[in-house]
Amino acid sequence: MSGSGSFGVNYKKSYGTDPAIIPAKLGDVGSDPDGAWMFVKASAAIAQYAFVYIVDAYTAAETVAASTIVQQVGVAQVALAINEYGWVWIGGAGGGGTGKGIKGKILGSYVANTPLLVTTTSGTADDTGTATTIKNVSAITLTTSAAAVELKSTGYLTVN
């Protein structure tokens, strides 16, 4: 993704639960050289590097099952407690990549650069799992155990 500098995004921190001190509105999209970011509110606790579903109200919760509808997907780069605000990575053309530090929770035996699927393990993806594919993203390396693996995107992350 082309860009220089950060455009209002600090994805390395949570912004607490007080809406009077948040730096953006829910659903705002910012960008930096690593991709696009959406400002969300956690509807449940979210672990660092967890894949999340983002619903229409711009609340996010860890992926945990197959989705029957088209949904926005993100990846939290910092842990968020319930009702905390923060930025989640939503991909973008040329987002992430080798050495960029954008990571997601990937289960063991993942084969590098293959489609990622939602799994029944909260917040994680793998190349085997449910019938729900997380589109426009892949993990760069393979893993033999559950790990945070660098991600790269070719567009905004969605499912189905």
Q: What is the pLDDT of residues 101-154, one digit of tens each?
A: 999 999 887 888 888 999 999 999 998 888 899 999 998 887 667 789 999 999
The DSSP-derived string for the chain is ----S-SS--TTS---S-GGG-SS-TT-EEEETTEEEEEEEESS-B-TT-EEEE-TTSEEEE--S--SS-EEEEEESS-B-TT-EEEEEEEEEEEE-TTS--EEEE-TTBPTTS-EEE-SSTT-EESSSSS-EEEEEEESS-BSSSEEEEEEEEEEEEE-
How many other CB atoms are there within 10 angstroms of residue 12's CB atom?
10
How confident is residue 66, by pLDDT bands cut at 50, 70 and 90? Answer: confident
How confident is residue 81, by pLDDT bands cut at 50, 70 and 90? Answer: very high
Q: What is the mean pLDDT of the chain?
A: 90
Residue 21 in this model has a pLDDT that exceeds 90: no
